[in-house]
Amino acid sequence: MKLRNFGVLMAAILIVFSLISGCSNLLQQAGDKSSLEVANDKLAAGDLDGAYADYQAILAADPTNAEANLGVAVLEVMSLAVDDETRSLAAALGLTLPDSLNDLYNEFASPEASSALALTLKAANLKAAGTSFISISTLEGVTVSQIQAYLRNSVIPRINQALARLAIVESNSDFQYMLPADLTGAETDLEIDLTEIYLLDAIGNALKGICYHLIAYNLDYSTSNPFLETGFGTLETDGAADMENARLALVAAAEKSIAALNFNAAETDDQSNDVLPQMDSADLTQILAIVGKIKDSLQSGEQTIEITETYSLAVNLKTYFMSPIADLKDYYFQDENDNSTIDAGDFPTGYDFTVNGLLPGLTSFTAWETFISKINSLF
């Protein structure tokens, strides 16, 4: 199997993100139906703040309401972008964010943003704005550790809240909602079921895993080459625990991805109106196999993953996360000859090409060079 098959899964995930801009229709089933309809009307009118308050009121009366839990999960994550801590940090980075969900919706959830293409363009714009994080050493008053504290104290807890609410939705095996066509621009109403919910859960856990990884190391620096600074890249006091939390979150992401794919494969209803219709069985089998390998590597250790039809690679994610690198600077190398080509002489004597056992088969520069060439051939 080839890694390019991940494109199928990525396309599916991108479609799931379109649910955020169309989330004004996720609530219309059991429970206090009139209250759900009122919340739905507010969302349809762009009153996200009002809808958020209504959904929370519904949950205060019935914490198990699946539709309200989904609505609050989506809006809780969205509200992170407009809370005081986020706006303060953004201001320090030279960015201005809205101060309400309604303003956020008006700025980023225009009708054209409901399409996957528009969402991609939005992401590209946000990525461009995010370059300020990469150049953080040039910004006065903001350090990487401040951003890490924000991830630990604000982002991760908010993701956990959303995941807890999605778990309630997932407990309803027959969960289904028809997304009205007038809000999506589609020719017919679109069906949302546990395929999309599991994928949202997988995305949330993957983001949590990334956050924990980012906060595990001291990444503060003050010069143009942080790899020459003593403290940079060293494992934090709680770094080992953070790496373990990252591993567990990534395991959950893999498990939820597998659950989404299996649910998708088992569907027997008409697929013509599904947001994510059934995948081709061959693609599904390949993606399930590689996601399963990743999960097994995270849980059990070394696994062999097929990169191309003629090249496979041993990967040990469990070792990487459970026996974390003490100092990332040990893996620093540079183009000594300044010839834009990486040669064996650019690596320090005794360099660990396995990256602390993550890639156990890369025991030499030659093996590393082959690996890089195979990866480059995929793009």
Tens of pLDDT, residue by residue over 190-242, are: 787 899 999 999 999 999 999 999 999 999 998 888 888 999 999 999 999 99
**Residue-averaged pLDDT of the chain:** 81
Residue finishing a domain among 267, 300, 333 = 300
Which of the given ranges, 165-179, 252-266, 278-292, has the highest pLDDT on average?
Answer: 252-266
What is the model's pLDDT at position 128? Answer: 44
What is the model's pLDDT at position 170? Answer: 96
Q: Is 332 found in the same domain as 320?
A: yes
B/e letters for 142-171, b = 16+ CB within 10 Å, e = fewer, are bebeebbebbbebbbebbebbbebbebbbe
Q: Is 22 found in the same domain as 101?
A: yes
Task: Determine the Cα–Cα distance for residues 207 and 73; give it in Å rounded to an integer.
Answer: 15
The total number of structural domains in the chain stands at 2
Residue 126: pLDDT over 60: no
Residue finishing a domain among 300, 317, 333 = 300
What is the model's pLDDT at position 308? Answer: 83
Q: What's the average model confidence in pLDDT over 346-360?
A: 93
Q: What's the average model confidence in pLDDT over 303-314?
A: 89
Residue 12: pLDDT over 50: no
Residue 78: other Cβ atoms inside 10 A: 20
Q: What's the average model confidence in pLDDT over 288-313?
A: 92
What is the model's pLDDT at position 179? Answer: 62
Task: Determine the Cα–Cα distance for residues 348 and 329; give it in Å rounded to an integer.
Answer: 11
Residue 343: other Cβ atoms inside 10 A: 12
Q: Closest Cα to residue 75, out of 45, 98, 105?
A: 105
The two three-digit tokens of residue 130, written as one number: 């995010």
Residue 134: pLDDT over 90: no
Q: Given CA atoms 268, 203, 51, 123 in this order, what sign does their dihedral have?
A: negative
Q: Is 313 found in the same domain as 175?
A: no
| Helices 48-61 and 101-108, packing angle to 10 deg | 130
Residue 379: pLDDT over 50: yes
Q: CA 226 → CA 17, 145, 231, 331, 350, distances in Å?
A: 36, 14, 9, 13, 22
Q: Is 113 found in the same domain as 188?
A: yes
Residue finishing a domain among 251, 272, 300 = 300
Of 16-25, 209-218, 355-364, the range with the lowest mean pLDDT is 16-25
Of 40-44, 163-167, 211-215, 325-329, the range with the lowest mean pLDDT is 40-44
Q: Is 125 found in the same domain as 246?
A: yes
Q: Is 352 found in the same domain as 330?
A: yes
What is the model's pLDDT at position 19? Answer: 42
Q: Is 52 found in the same domain as 174?
A: yes
Q: Is 351 found in the same domain as 290?
A: no
Residue 108: pLDDT over 80: no
Q: Is 317 found in the same domain as 270?
A: no
Which one is predicted more confidently, 362 or 1? Answer: 362
Q: Is 349 found in the same domain as 287?
A: no
Residue 360: pLDDT over 90: yes
Q: Is 238 found in the same domain as 152?
A: yes
Q: For residue 188, name the pLDDT band (cuts at 50, 70, 90).
A: confident
Residue 319: pLDDT over 80: yes
Q: Is 370 found in the same domain as 290?
A: no
Q: What percent of the chain has pLDDT over 90?
A: 46
Which one is predicted more confidently, 38 or 24? Answer: 38
Task: Determine the Cα–Cα distance for residues 321 and 251; give it in Å rounded to an integer.
Answer: 11
What is the model's pLDDT at position 273? Answer: 77
Task: Determine the Cα–Cα distance for residues 112 and 115; give it in Å rounded to an integer.
Answer: 6
Q: For residue 322, name the pLDDT band (cuts at 50, 70, 90).
A: very high
Phi, psi of 315 (to 5 degrees): -130, 135
Are 162 and 172 in contact by the 8 Å Cβ rule? The answer is no
Q: Tell me how far the alpha carbon of residue 97 is from its chain's centroid.
A: 21
What is the model's pLDDT at position 378? Answer: 83
Which one is predicted more confidently, 93 or 296? Answer: 296
Q: State the residue range of the domain holding 253.
A: 3-300
